[in-house]
Chains A and B, each alone.
Chain A
């Protein structure tokens, strides 16, 4: 994990984030240590990483469920599209200044390994969605309001994937 670009990343968010960043700088001077990542930027990066992992997992699940005639493929593809939208909106909140590393590491960085067999993969996705939803629900208490709203919405979306995956598992 590169440290330089991480330190320099900022939130593209509401003005509410400004006092937080300013006070973080003051604290750093007192401590006399190099500036660390602002906590909300760290949380945003963690949410981006989690979302990227979900996208990778669903791509693996769609491959597992192919051929395209399989009834699960359409549903999994639909959920994958929602995760791609989540990822795009989260990425849009992170601004990395010109000249530093790209905000999106190579796709290979996220490995979406799932247990073998579609039934097991669906179960694993169900657990992953619930965990991702719960994690965002706690992270949204530690970020600026506008990012909290996005996280709450994504958390709700991920929670709704759980019953859909469950019914998909039953249909089989």
Chain B
């Protein structure tokens, strides 16, 4: 992560960090409602998010910015009172993390782009492990996808 990091890159790193912080908090909730192998999986996913959070934080500091602080508490997107709801929350957390990392993939900095792509893949894999389902476009909001015939040419080479 040596060299100048653009303000845009820092902003997207901060967004990814905020998503990882929320995931760390959320996995604490997830783990509390699970037992056995599911609880063990929640623990290992939790650790993965903590490592990602720490590495983003370090990257932001190295770029000369202050990492956004984590919130004291987070409003969970769904109510969790059972193991089934806990698993559903884990899937949502992974989707949100993937959506945050797509911003890094949109950068010209190839190190950050590769990091973002790796993290989207890992988040999608964790989500699939929880849900036993797959998605066509992990990390991409539906609004960013083209409806048929909606694109335009920008230039013609040669």
Question: A residues within 8 Å of B by Cβ?
Answer: 7-8, 10-13, 15-18, 21-22, 24-25, 28, 34-35, 37-38, 41, 78-79, 81-82, 85-86, 88-89, 92-93, 95, 97, 133, 137, 140-141, 145-146, 148-157, 159-161, 163-164, 167
Contact = CB atoms under 8 A, between A and B. Distances in A.
A101 to B, nearest CB: 15
B124 A156 contact: yes
Interface stretch (B15-23, B57-65, B78-86, B149-157): B149-157
Given A38-B157, A41-B157, A137-B121, A157 B151 contact: no
B19 to A, nearest CB: 15
A17 B121 contact: no
Nearest to B158: A35
A16 B68 CA distance: 29
B113 interface: yes
Interface residues of B, number: 41
Given A148-B117, A149-B102, A160-B124, 13 more contacts: A11-B154, A12-B151, A12-B152, A12-B154, A16-B108, A25-B157, A78-B134, A92-B151, A141-B114, A153-B138, A159-B124, A163-B125, A167-B132
30 contacts: A12-B151, A12-B154, A18-B154, A34-B158, A35-B157, A35-B158, A86-B136, A92-B150, A95-B151, A140-B117, A146-B106, A148-B105, A148-B106, A148-B113, A149-B106, A149-B139, A152-B105, A152-B120, A153-B137, A155-B117, A155-B120, A156-B98, A156-B117, A156-B123, A157-B137, A159-B121, A160-B128, A160-B134, A164-B132, A167-B132
Nearest to B127: A160
B55 interface: no
B117 A137 contact: yes
A10 B151 CA distance: 12
Contacts, number: 140
Interface hub of B105, B114, B148 (most chain A Cβ within 10 A):
B105
B150 A7 contact: no
Contact of A155 (B110, B121, B132, B155): B121
B72 interface: no
Contacts of A85: 136-137
B35 interface: no
A82 B135 contact: yes
B117 A152 contact: yes
A12 B157 contact: no
B146 interface: yes
B116 interface: yes
Contacts of B106: 145-146, 148-149
